[in-house]
Amino acid sequence: MILQSLSWRIGLSFAAFVLIGSIALVFVIDRQVARENESRFAELARTNAAFLTRAKLPPSPYLDESLEQVLGCRVDFVTTRDMPLDEHSTTPTDGTVYRREGREFVSVPVDDTTALVLSREVTASWTALRQRTTLSILATFWLLSGVSGWFIGRGMVHPLKSLAAQLPRIESREPLALDVAQRKDEIGDVARAFVATRSALQEERESRERAEKLAVLGRMTTALAHEIQNPVAAIGMHAQLWKREARDQAEASIAARIELESRRIDDLLSQWLFLARPEPPASSSIRIGALVEECIEATRAGLDHARVTVTFSAVDEGRIRGDAKRLSQVFRNLIVNAIQAMPRGGQLDIDVRTRPSDGLVLVSIADTGVGFSEAALARFSEFFFTEKEGGMGIGLSVATEIVRAHGGELRVHNLPSGGACVMIELPHEGNDEGIDASGNA
Ligand code: ADP
């Protein structure tokens, strides 16, 4: 249990390091002291041998005894009468210290046949421990170890502990005071990574909550759109009937207005439903020029009201395979956008043709309005991008999606003469016959 705590593990390893370090230190000092003692012993022997050589004193028990008293160790003379000392002796006589049976000896020649031998008890190991120098070196080592232990504790264990204490707060929304994040080292890196992960988690949670709210809103509005669609269709149909049977011009224009507005509401609802839950497109052969023409007629009242003149040309317009209802939604959206871009009236040129080089059907819708802004040129296909007061920002994005679903491409640019141009490319179907603009055979 204790070993699971980082501070205990570091503390115990550190204590083991201090213990082993202390033993090693004492061992090294002990060896050093022993070496110094030996060299002093050898020096003692050499000095006395030199003195005896110079004084030419003959070895005698009296000399032994006097020297033993002065030197504090045993003194002997080894004499070989008939051969040189270095050939006779089995022990070194060169002044090196050697050990034998618990004693240490040093022998130095006094003359050719006599050597002075000093011997004493070998000093016990670890005697250095009793020396003051050893104790002060050990105390310094312990002090330095204690100071570095304190620094390791403050520099590593303490910040790690405070970081670990913050970890359970990763989910909390309260502000986080994490001083460790200011550090420049690896612990600081970990703390900064923790702070970054926490804020990423919070952002992710907030956006999930926003998405959940939006999903609820989306479900509500979709249900609402479905509910509104039927009464709006009924209003539109009755307005159409009323327009046909109107008693005078005034009544007919009111009915036309009601029909137009209910169609606009229906368009909006269909676009919303397409966004909320796009259904697979219906597939039929469509004469694209006829479909565009129908859309111009459907928006005629709005065009006239805005004093927009339309020119329409269809050159070898061709057919495409697709969903007529959705494609007419595209063209109506583009015409309505063009009307809104020309509040004081203008010119709308719509052209449909097949490009012989690649067989694509091209529809271009060019107006003489204000043209696309830089932002609109870049972001026109984003859902909810709008620059209009009260705009929903789904007209062009839905149109782009519908065209893409037909294997085509919708592009926008501004004309050199001013005004905007929307280009639609759709794949040509082939030479199917007898299918009208609404896709019915
Ligand atoms: P909304 O009409 O609701 O703004 P759209 O997706 O239809 O949404 O259009 C997005 C934006 O593209 C518009 O707000 C407008 O800035 C720009 N735009 C669209 N059509 C035209 C056009 N014919 N001329 C100039 N700008 C246009």
Q: Examine the domain organization and report whether 224 and 356 are in the same domain.
A: no
Q: Which of 277, 310, 331 is the last residue of a domain?
A: 277
Domain co-membership, 375 together with 408: yes
269, 289: one domain: no
Residues 327 and 299 in one domain: yes
User: Domain count of the chain?
Assistant: 3
Q: What is the pLDDT of residue 437?
A: 41
399, 261 in Cβ contact below 8 A?
Answer: no
Q: Domain boundary at 213, 246, 277, which?
A: 277
Q: What is the pTM of this model?
A: 0.53
According to DSSP, the residues that pair with 157 across neighbouring strands are none
Looking at the structure, do residues 73 and 87 belong to the same domain, yes or no?
yes
CB-hemisphere CA count at 13 Å for 356?
2
346 Cβ below 6 A of ligand 1: no
Protein residue with least CA distance to atom 26, ligand 1: 372
**Is 287 found in the same domain as 242?**
no
The count of residues in the chain is 441
Q: Looking at residue 321, which CATH number applies to its domain? A: 3.30.565.10
Answer whether 392 contacts ligand 1 (Cβ < 6 A).
Answer: yes
Question: What's the gap in Å between 396 CA and the centre of ligand 1?
Answer: 7
Residues 296, 357: one domain?
A: yes
Closest CA to 325 of 277, 280, 276, 380: 280
Same domain flag for 196 and 296: no
Residue 175 lies in a domain: no
Q: Whose CA is nearest to atom 1 of ligand 1?
A: 393
Choose one of 267, 368, 374, 380 to mutate for the ligand 1 pocket test, by most ligand atoms within 8 angstroms of C-beta: 380
SS3 208: helix
Nearest to 425 by CA among 378, 369, 355, 356: 355
415 and 293, same domain (yes or no): yes
Domain assignment of residue 169, yes or no: no
- Residue 136 placed within a domain: no
Compute the distance between CA of residue 331 and CA of residue 294 in angstroms, rounded to an integer: 10
Q: Note whether 48 and 64 are same-domain residues.
A: yes
| 271 plus 302 within the same structural domain | no
Query: Is-contact 98 92, C-beta < 8 A?
Result: yes
- 342 and 416 share one domain: yes
How would you write 173-195 as a 3-class SS string?
CCCCCCHHHHCCCHHHHHHHHHH
The domain of 66 spans 2-130
What pLDDT, on a 0 to 100 scale, did the predictor assign at position 274? 76
Four-residue CA torsion sign, 300, 306, 312, 317: negative
Structure tokens at 37: 């003692």
Q: For the chain, 441 residues long, give each residue's pLDDT as a single digit of tens.
A: 556 677 788 888 889 999 999 999 888 888 888 888 889 999 999 999 899 889 888 888 888 888 899 888 999 888 765 544 555 456 677 788 888 888 888 988 888 888 888 999 887 667 777 778 888 888 999 999 999 888 887 777 788 888 888 888 888 877 777 787 888 888 888 888 988 888 899 899 988 988 888 788 778 888 888 889 889 999 999 999 999 999 999 999 999 999 988 988 988 888 778 777 666 667 889 999 999 999 999 888 889 989 999 999 998 777 888 889 889 989 999 999 999 999 899 999 999 999 888 889 999 999 999 999 999 999 999 988 999 988 888 899 989 988 998 889 999 999 999 999 999 999 988 644 433 444 333
From 109, 130, 151, give the residue that closes a domain.
130
- CA distances in angstroms from 248 to 262, 270, 294, 409, listed in the order given: 21, 33, 26, 46
State the pLDDT at residue 80.
66
Q: Is 268 in the pocket of ligand 1 (CB under 6 A)?
A: no
DSSP state of 72: S
Residue 406: HSE in the Cβ half-sphere, 13 Å Cα cutoff: 33
Look at residue 363 in the predicted model and tell me its pLDDT: 96
Any domain includes 141: no
The domain that holds 271 is classified in CATH as 1.10.287
